[in-house]
Structure 1
Amino acid sequence: MSHFRKLQLTYFISKISHTCLKPSQSPRFHSAKSAPQSALKNCDFKFPSKVRKEAQVALLEYLHSTRSLQFLDADNMCKNSPFFLNDILSKVLQKKKIDTAASDVKKSISRYLRYHPINEFEPFFESTGLKPFEYLHLLPRNMMFINDDTVLMENYHTLCNYGVPRNKMGKIFKDAPQVFRYESGVLVSKFQSYEELGVASSTLVKVISLSPRILVGDVDLYLVKVLEKLNRLVGEEKGSTWIEEQLLDESSCNFGVMHELLCLLEKVYSDKKLLGEMIGQHPFVCFEDSGVWALSLIVFLVKLGLSLDQIAIIFVKFPQIGVLMFLSNLRKCFTFLSDIDMHAAEIGNIFQSHSLLMGSFTIKKSSSLLSSLNVGKKRVCKLVQDNPEGMQNWAVGRKIQPYPEDKEMRALKTEFLKTKFLLSLGYEENSEGIKQAFKLFRGKGDELQERYDFIVNAGLDAKDVHEMIKASPQILNQTTDMINTKIEYLVNEGYPISSLVDFPSFLSYTLCRVKLRLSMYNWLRDHRVVHPRLALSTIVACSEELFLRLYVNRHPSGLQVWQDLKSEIYPENNNMI
């Protein structure tokens, strides 16, 4: 049965992808975009309320008494046409002061209307909810008086008598203007057709106000089917009142899309009672933009590998944030996981187990988050894999604390910097030479680089330092302070720093050994028992036994001087070399 439901779901998704969700065929789900401010008349409604009320009374008397409009029509036109009224007041009172005009404004407006007949279509269209820039193209060229257009007014009154609010008819003029050109009796027959199919008159009035195109052409069977399904799922006891409450004034309804969604949800939920409870608790799933975002959400989740049961649970536990916001959050999480180079299979696993969580919050952008956490992409991947729930701590608006480096990450960083340094010295990557160098060099990559730079800055050529390090890698296993002390001692003893190029191992010997050997050599040289220009390597590198036999023992007092120097340089251990 589960496999059969999966096949049915695949069929519906394929159908939806080729019909409902095509951008070029997307239904209208939002009201018309607002026009630029420049498109509106320069109307700031600056006149006091008392002045405006007096003007409304004058206009009402003119339309009802002089022009013989029905009182309700005239009253609606006076009270719901602020742009038109403001225009009249500006013309009449432009040369008068507002505070002195309030008392005789009604008289002034009446006098003006007596000699300046108005285009009644302007306040009429505005009273239906249209702005001036929206009804300009609707103004007839050969008529000024609204009662002259008998067909328009007959259909207008038919809608009013049925219960459609006058100030909601502007949407009909925008979306289905042909409704007002119907012959006598056509509208009434359309109302009767829907009622005979079970649509309550109050529900039909609400739907007409939102989607007037149901009055164009044949009966919209999708509307009838949607209402039948909803009544069956949520229970007849709620009746049409519940459905009317879900129809938002600012939205249009595409009942074809909503019907597709309900059919798809019936494939997702094998238990119709559970589906009814879900819709009753979360009606926005069906009614938010006619369900188009819920359709997109289902397609998105199926592509990520979620099962029907998992999708059903998500809708039952849906957060009260709206489907569009939930879907947007999911997509941002998907983008984030892709940005940190997580494998597709792992992304699917996380979504299959934590979609409800990830749709409930808005995650920060990957660039901002990586900077705040102060870690790399691999570390973030591991954090998400180990604890997906922790992602909610990275939501927009939350303060992010940098993560401390763990031992593994520090080791990886150290290895990377060390490899980078060795490659700069000319070692080949993954060669035996670099593997041996790894064992010889002690310290972090940045420390090795710092010691190398210090030796170069001491006055040696970078190429010479390269060769020195290759010959004696251990010279970089010391701190810069120790290297500096040995170089200073060497120079103070009269040796040029360039002597380190021929004998780089000098920096590897202890300072005590160097001091003892050079001090003894200087004494022997002063007593002319050794060659005055012995190489630095000859003095320092040979063993103590050989140094004593070849040089110290040449002078009768040499051994005694050696012991005295050793006691002075090695005060704690005379046996140290």
Structure 2
Amino acid sequence: MSKNSPHFVKKLIANVGNESDYVKRSVALFLNYHPINEFEPFFESIGLEPSEFSAFLPRNLMFLSDEVGLLDKYHVLCKYGIARVQMGKIYREAREVFRYDKGVLQSKLLGFEQVGMRKDFISRAVRFNLCILINGINEEFLELVSRLKCLGFENSLFEQKFFETTSYNWRQINHLLQLLLQYLGCRRCPGILFDHSGRRRPALLLIGFLLKFGCSRSDICSILLRFPQIKVEKFVWNLRRAFELLFEIEMDAVNIGRIIREHFTWIGTCRVMKASYLLCHLRSGKIHLRQIIVANPLELKKWTLGAKIERVPETKEIRLQRDRNLRIKFLTSIGFVENSKEIENVLKICRGKGEELPERFDLFVKAGISESDVTKMIRRAPQILNQSAEALEAKINVIVNELGYPVSKISSYPKVLQYTMDRVKVRCAMHRWLLEQFVVRSTLSLYSIIGSTKSCFVNTFVNRHPLGPQVWQEYKLKKANSGQY
């Protein structure tokens, strides 16, 4: 023990001096009056550092013989080939192993042999996964090994899987095995049984995923038996990523389920890109992307991480969707609420190109109408935005500069911009003539003059003067080929 406790020996020598002729006698004399704590060299000899074992030193004990069974457990572990320096790890992480009643530890190790495990495997297993010696976990571990042997699995397969990870949860693996046997009828358990079947439970998530998308028991059993060479955790992650892509492009549940069932294997082995990235780089709308995938799900293989993205040819649907998005962006910028009933009604009427709408808005502002009043105009008559900026500018110029109306008349009756300028000019000319004849008021609104129907205008204004019909016909003849009025 002292040979493997250099720190303890160095500390002891420091107390008695280091003259070679007197070291042995000095140590013996020192120990007569200063008995040592035997736990210190013991803990150091099994691989614990002094800073670690200080917390483990018993308060009222000095000699190893006082700790009943401690050395017995040490010798049992040595018998099974557990290296001395590894015992410190066992004491640190599974201290209860050294406190078992007499014969308990021996019986646990014999239990491993009884299920066919070799001593060298038991030694490696204990070093690799200490929990198999702990009560409860030990029984679950042995139960799993026994059940696998009953199913015809060789210990070599189990031993190979055992050393791939230290995160096994034996209870969950037992539950998964029971699920595979009783519910799915799958007796030839695949490698997924040991594939990170710990706290994350990816195998159970995988089965739940398949059931959610309509796979039958026989389908799931068949899938698991021909499971690809990939970690289940990664496979489930890839499936979830593909599902998120299909969900984000608003694909219906029926098609999502069909695609995942029919192309389950390769979807789980491919890491597809995110929907936002695809839509941006493909320059495609959600509708078009859905159509492509539904028609040929294998197209998803082209959109995996690391693959070169080739843009989808722009279709009418893509152009319409992009223009709609621009119109929504413009309308929300001037005060409309996105996804509201009001904005949907405006979108149905407003067919102007989304990229040109800001220019048309600015045109009204430059003409002297405040931004708030322009917004009110658009709410009352969204169709005015369907005209080009040049046409709007020409109409404003006629109404304000030629006919002499203030710009406020346009903001109070924006629909005047919907009519042809020939109609506006003819009716305004007729109104001025009637004013000169003192048969109408000068305070009439543009709506009364321009917005009324042809028959109403004739009955209300033209026929109020005996020469009115004749003058009206003369004005109409001048503009006969210019448009309707």
- Which of the five TM-score ranges fits, normalised by the shorter chain? 0.5 to 0.7
Query: Shift of residue 201 of structure 1?
Result: 2.8
Query: Shift of residue 161 of structure 1?
Result: 1.6
Structure 2 match to 1:158: 76
Structure 2 match to 1:139: 57
Structure 2 match to 1:351: 260
Amino acid across the alignment from 2:175:
E
Counterparts of 1:212 and 1:242, CA distance in 2: 20
Query: Shift of residue 356 of structure 1?
Result: 3.0
Query: Shift of residue 443 of structure 1?
Result: 3.8
Aligned residue for 2:58, secondary structure, equals: coil
Counterparts of 1:443 and 1:218, CA distance in 2: 73
Cα deviation, 1:165-206, whole Å, max 9, x if unaligned, reads 333334532454343245665544444454345443333333
Is 1:206 aligned with 2:124?
yes
Change (3 A) 1:412 1:271: closer
Counterparts of 2:351 and 2:136, CA distance in 1: 86
For residues 110-125 of structure 1, what are the structure 2 equivalents within 5 Å?
121=39, 124-125=42-43
Query: Shift of residue 287 of structure 1?
Result: 5.2
Counterparts of 2:44 and 2:167, CA distance in 1: 20
Structure 2 match to 1:226: 144
Amino acid across the alignment from 1:204:
I
Amino acid across the alignment from 2:181:
E
Structure 1 match to 2:173: 258
For residues 123-522 of structure 1, what are the structure 2 equivalents within 5 Å?
124-125=42-43, 128=46, 135-143=53-61, 151-174=69-92, 176-182=94-100, 186-212=104-130, 214-215=132-133, 222-231=140-149, 236=154, 240-248=155-163, 251=166, 253-267=168-182, 272=187, 275=188, 279=190, 282=191, 285-286=193-194, 288-289=196-197, 292-335=201-244, 337-338=246-247, 342-362=251-271, 382=291, 384-391=293-300, 395=304, 406-411=315-320, 417=327, 438=349, 443-444=352-353, 447=356, 450-451=359-360, 453-460=362-369, 478-485=387-394, 487-488=396-397, 495=404, 498=407, 501=410, 504=416, 508-509=420-421
Change (3 A) 1:363 1:465: closer
Identity of aligned residues (%): 32
Change (3 A) 1:174 1:363: farther
Counterparts of 2:212 and 2:291, CA distance in 1: 24
Aligned residue for 2:69, secondary structure, equals: helix
Unaligned runs of 5+ in 1: 1-59, 65-73, 79-83, 93-104, 522-530, 554-561, 567-574
Counterparts of 1:178 and 1:476, CA distance in 2: 81
Normalising by structure 1, report the TM-score.
0.54
Counterparts of 1:218 and 1:475, CA distance in 2: 79
Counterparts of 1:402 and 1:161, CA distance in 2: 68
Change (3 A) 1:264 1:219: closer
Counterparts of 1:486 and 1:122, CA distance in 2: 101
Query: Shift of residue 163 of structure 1?
Result: 1.7
Counterparts of 2:379 and 2:65, CA distance in 1: 103
2:176–2:193 CA contact under 8 A, matched in 1: no
Change (3 A) 1:335 1:174: farther
Amino acid across the alignment from 2:120:
S
Counterparts of 1:178 and 1:319, CA distance in 2: 41
Greater shift, 485-494 or 246-255, is seen at: 485-494
Amino acid across the alignment from 1:360:
T
Structure 1 match to 2:454: none
Counterparts of 1:374 and 1:132, CA distance in 2: 65
Query: Shift of residue 136 of structure 1?
Result: 4.3
Aligned residue for 2:166, secondary structure, equals: coil
Change (3 A) 1:319 1:131: farther
Counterparts of 1:362 and 1:341, CA distance in 2: 20
Counterparts of 1:506 and 1:330, CA distance in 2: 54
Query: Shift of residue 333 of structure 1?
Result: 4.2
Aligned residue for 2:269, secondary structure, equals: coil
Task: Tell which has more relative contact order, 1 or 2 (C-alpha 8 A, sep 6+).
Answer: 1
Change (3 A) 1:457 1:372: same
1:336–1:365 CA contact under 8 A, matched in 2: yes
1:375–1:403 CA contact under 8 A, matched in 2: yes
Counterparts of 2:306 and 2:41, CA distance in 1: 47
Change (3 A) 1:377 1:201: same
Query: Shift of residue 156 of structure 1?
Result: 0.8
1:210–1:252 CA contact under 8 A, matched in 2: no
Counterparts of 1:296 and 1:377, CA distance in 2: 29
Counterparts of 2:356 and 2:183, CA distance in 1: 61
Cα deviation, 1:282-340, whole Å, max 9, x if unaligned, reads 4x542534694323432343244322233234334434442223233334444555555
2:369–2:408 CA contact under 8 A, matched in 1: no
Normalising by structure 2, report the TM-score.
0.62
Give the RMSD, CA atoms, in angstroms.
5.9
Change (3 A) 1:213 1:499: closer
Aligned residue for 1:451, secondary structure, equals: helix
Counterparts of 2:107 and 2:142, CA distance in 1: 16
Amino acid across the alignment from 1:286:
F
Aligned residue for 1:164, secondary structure, equals: coil
Query: Shift of residue 347 of structure 1?
Result: 4.0
Counterparts of 2:152 and 2:218, CA distance in 1: 21
Counterparts of 1:215 and 1:452, CA distance in 2: 78
2:168–2:196 CA contact under 8 A, matched in 1: no
Unaligned runs of 5+ in 2: 430-435, 451-456, 459-468
